[in-house]
Amino acid sequence: MHYTPAKATQKPFLRIAVAAFLLLNVLSSGFAQENTIPELKSGLKTVKTDTAKVTILNKIAHIFRESNSDSTLFYAKKAAALAQKNGDHYGLAIACINIGNANIISSNYAEALKNFEQAKALFTDLLTHPAATAVTQNQIRNGLARSYGSCGIVYSEQNDYSNALQHYFKALKMYQETGEKKSISKVYNNIGIIYKVLEENNKALTYLSKAYALQTEMGEESAPVTLMNIGTIYFKQKKDKQALQYYNTAMSLFEKTNNNRGKALLFNNLGEFYCSHQSYAKALDFYNKAMVLYTELDNKMGTASVQYNIGTLYLEQKDLSKALSYTSASLMTAREINMLAQVKSSEKQLSDIYALQQDYKNALSHYKEYVAAKDSIDNKENTKKLLRVELNAEFQKKEALQKIEMEKKEAVLVEQNKSHKLFTLFSVIGTLLLLGLIFVTYNRLQIKRRLTLQKEVAEYEQKALHLQMNPHFVFNCLGSISSFIVQNGTDSAIKYLSKFSKLMRLTLEYSKGSLIPIDKEIDSLQNYLELEQLRFNKKFDFAITTSPLIEDDMALPPLLIQPFVENAILHGLVPKQGSGKIEISFNVENNQLVCSITDDGIGISKSKAMKENSVTAHKSMALEITKKRLEMMEATTSQSAHVSISDFLDENKEPYGTRVVIYLPIQYTSDTKIRI
């Protein structure tokens, strides 16, 4: 039996290292560790004010976060109790963050999220109603940003990367407002790490590069770790020249620091790099260097990873004896610290080695252990998913309650202000009372008008949804896919069925919200156009482009672009002799989001003439509804939202295509999240 050893595609230690670095980056942004714990405890006995005691207790809790979560929790709770007793909301908010950090380390994510949400509420209240304290507005904003960043950690640990990114972007904007460069670099790094995990490598490189630029400017010791992460992305993209360049630069920077943990990870990465190029001597040298450092640090996770990698190296060289020795050592170390991901990989590799040695009894035994470890990991992931659902439900419930409470407070304040104004106006002159009543009446009419507009928007969006997914379109697509199965085989048909399913899912999912990210709209258009290509036998080509000015969290209303694209296909390209092309572009011009749809079909004027002569001519309800939605959007946002449609004309004034340009106000996905 011929056997080729599979290269390890899963790096369990790498994922853990990324998570640890992610955690460290955000949790360490809050206090400058200028004092040692003994100095702070000594100062605790001499300070006189309770506010100063709360500050010192929070500092002690923060320092303990890396070594003793129980001590962090103990001092943070003492700070919280004292702050609450004295009405020190700022100190209480910092204590809540420290308690949340301790709960994260203990994997108690539900409680951690509650702590961070309480901190957010306290910081928000301090911004709305500033107290007469020595705390500045920037400190409060930085605290609120830190709360959002800490929530991002919880969602990251639960693999809820969408929520994590939303919270990181909110934190980033606040830090940018206060000019907190060190925190900005950390958030850039964390966003980059999430994009790296999601395998959106270009976005990951963008944010990691931004983080490195700020780290270099401030001379931070974390800069070589960022370079190493960038190198790892290039290595994953098989851009070996760039990967080695970043690894070497990181190495030179590590030599100037005492970060042996980061240096060990770099040696391990370099070992994998040279092993992939079959430079086994160099790879083994770097693995051994990593092993020495991990042993000095008593880092068993790193040791297990390096032992496994050395076992893989010998397996690729067909040295089964050494491969068995190192892989067995890796399994023993991983089991000692209950590192399930590494246990799974080591058990699988041991099964492969014994199979090559024709020791099928041991091969089967280790394969069973591999399956057991895999099932255990899957069960943990399922538990995480369930917990994530519970966290989201609880979070949304709390947000709704907070919103109701805030609305009640605002309503009370509004009513109190109105009563005071009316009393003052009545005591001065009766005519001013009349003006006040007119103002109140006008205000109520405005509220009624706004509610009416919102209701109309919801109705038109629902109509647009039904137009998008009408039975005629569904049956046509299914019929085309059925023909494709007969003509081209099931594999290609399954691919297109998948796209059709994804289009329906995206349409139904995002039609419920008021805004969706631009990249999700592009995914929907991509799937729709590919299905229409199938339906009309590739009668047209298409291209979708975005400007670099488009930001990651820019958004637009759902189901807005597709009716214009459908119109271009059905009334522009289908009647045309020969093939055609549709081009869709997204850009930012004059502080507006601009979407352009162009085709080289028969032109709108000729299409109208054909429809007038057609017995089956009908008015395009989809375009009418879309135009009405734009009017509603313009009314509710007080910003311009309109569409222009024109033909391309040749020298003889004959149309040879149509251009549709939609102008929208710039909006962000985070805008909708804040209103939940």
Helices vs strands, H then E, count in the chain: 26, 8
Q: Give how far Cα 199 sits from Cα of 84, 205, 209, 237, Å.
A: 44, 11, 16, 10
Averaged pLDDT, 243-256: 91
Residue 634 lies inside a defined structural domain of this protein: yes
The model's pTM is 0.50
Least confident among 58-72, 178-192, 293-307, 479-493 = 479-493
Residue 627 lies inside a defined structural domain of this protein: yes
Number of domains in the chain: 1
| pLDDT at 674 (0 to 100) | 32
- Strand, coil or helix: what is 122? helix
How would you label 477-516 residue by residue, b for 16+ Cβ within 10 Å and e otherwise? beebbeebeeeeeeeebeebbebbeebbebbeebbeebbb
Averaged pLDDT, 411-423: 71
For the cut 90, the answer to whether the pLDDT of residue 668 exceeds it is: no
For the cut 90, the answer to whether the pLDDT of residue 609 exceeds it is: no
pLDDT tens digits for range 345-370: 999 999 999 999 999 999 999 999 99
| pLDDT at 479 (0 to 100) | 67
For the cut 60, the answer to whether the pLDDT of residue 220 exceeds it is: yes
| pLDDT at 310 (0 to 100) | 95
Range of the domain at 632: 506-674
| pLDDT at 469 (0 to 100) | 46
The closest of 151, 161, 215 to 189, measured between CA atoms, is 215
pLDDT band per the 50, 70, 90 thresholds, residue 95: very high
Residue 138 lies inside a defined structural domain of this protein: no
pLDDT band per the 50, 70, 90 thresholds, residue 339: confident
Encoded tokens for 276: 């992939």
| pLDDT at 402 (0 to 100) | 58
Residue 512 lies inside a defined structural domain of this protein: yes
Encoded tokens for 27: 């949790």
For the cut 60, the answer to whether the pLDDT of residue 15 exceeds it is: no
| pLDDT at 5 (0 to 100) | 36
What lies within 8 Å, CB to CB, of 199 at 6+ separation is none
For the cut 50, the answer to whether the pLDDT of residue 9 exceeds it is: no
Q: Are 266 and 278 in contact (CB under 8 A)?
A: no
| pLDDT at 566 (0 to 100) | 87
Query: φ and ψ at 556, to 5 degrees?
Result: -150, 165
- Strand, coil or helix: what is 664? strand
The closest of 99, 95, 98, 116 to 50, measured between CA atoms, is 95
Measure the CA–CA gap between 629 and 461, rounded to whole angstroms. Answer: 8
Residue 519's CATH number: 3.30.565.10
Residue 560 lies inside a defined structural domain of this protein: yes
pLDDT band per the 50, 70, 90 thresholds, residue 249: very high
Residue 53 lies inside a defined structural domain of this protein: no
| pLDDT at 551 (0 to 100) | 87
Residue 415 lies inside a defined structural domain of this protein: no
Residue 659 lies inside a defined structural domain of this protein: yes
Encoded tokens for 347: 């058990």
The closest of 548, 543, 515 to 530, measured between CA atoms, is 543
More confidently predicted of 6 and 352: 352
pLDDT averaged over the chain?
Answer: 81
